[in-house]
Structure formats: structure tokens, C-alpha cells
Amino acid sequence: MSKEPQSGHNLLAGDRLKSIVERVEHVESEIKELQTGRAEIYQEAKSAGLDVKAIKKIVAIKKQDQNKRAEAEVILATYMAALGMTA
């Protein structure tokens, strides 16, 4: 079963599709490398005796909007006080 040769429009669309797929593959490769780098940093922290779970929490907190984070902290403190969990 042979394919018909692509016409000009289909050829351009095919080239565009190929380019997009290759770019996505390239970005996915970069993401994988970055994830490996992140894992190595966390391993370094663990080897230095640091608490990786706490570091991950700090990174997540730093990503949050400052106002939303402050609001969440107030709510958390209020709930903890209501449950008698504060000193």
C-alpha cells in the first residue's frame, strides 16, 4: 500500500507538526534533566543532615502569594488555637 505524495499544503502542515513534536520532545528532555538535578540537590541536603521534607515545604510556601500565605497562616493558627494545639 503506497502513500500519495503530499501536496504543498499538506507538506507544510507536516513540517509544522514535525517541528512542534520535536520541540515538545526537546522540552520534555530538559524537564527530565532538571528533575534529576532537583533530586540531586535534595539528596545533597539529606546527606548534609537536613530535613528534605521541611525544605520541600519551604519551597512550596515560597511559591505562594504572600497575602494568600498570610491569610492561610492566620486561619491555621485560629484552628490550632480552637483545638488547643498552641502553647
Q: With bands split at pLDDT 50, 70 and 90, how would you rate the model's confidence at 4?
A: low
Q: Burial, 42: exposed, middle or buried (Cβ in 10 Å; 0-12, 13-18, 19+)?
A: middle
pLDDT at 74: 96
Please answer whether residues 42 and 52 qualify as being in contact, where contact means their C-beta atoms are separated by less than 8 angstroms: yes
pLDDT at 76 over 60: yes
45 & 7 share domain: yes
56 & 27 share domain: no
Residue closest to 68 by CA, chosen among 56, 76, 78: 76
Joined together, the cell numbers standing for residue 3 give 502513500
37 & 62 share domain: no
Residue closest to 45 by CA, chosen among 33, 32, 59: 59
Q: With bands split at pLDDT 50, 70 and 90, how would you rate the model's confidence at 9?
A: confident
What's the pTM? 0.67
Task: Residue 7: give the domain boundaries.
Answer: 1-50
44 & 71 share domain: no
Joined together, the cell numbers standing for residue 36 give 534529576
4 & 34 share domain: yes
41 & 23 share domain: yes
35 & 55 share domain: no
pLDDT at 3 over 70: no
- Give the pLDDT confidence of 12-65 residue by residue, as tens digits: 888 999 999 999 999 999 999 999 999 999 999 999 999 999 999 999 999 999
Q: With bands split at pLDDT 50, 70 and 90, how would you rate the model's confidence at 69?
A: very high
Q: How many domains would you assign to the chain?
A: 2
Please answer whether residues 55 and 42 qualify as being in contact, where contact means their C-beta atoms are separated by less than 8 angstroms: yes
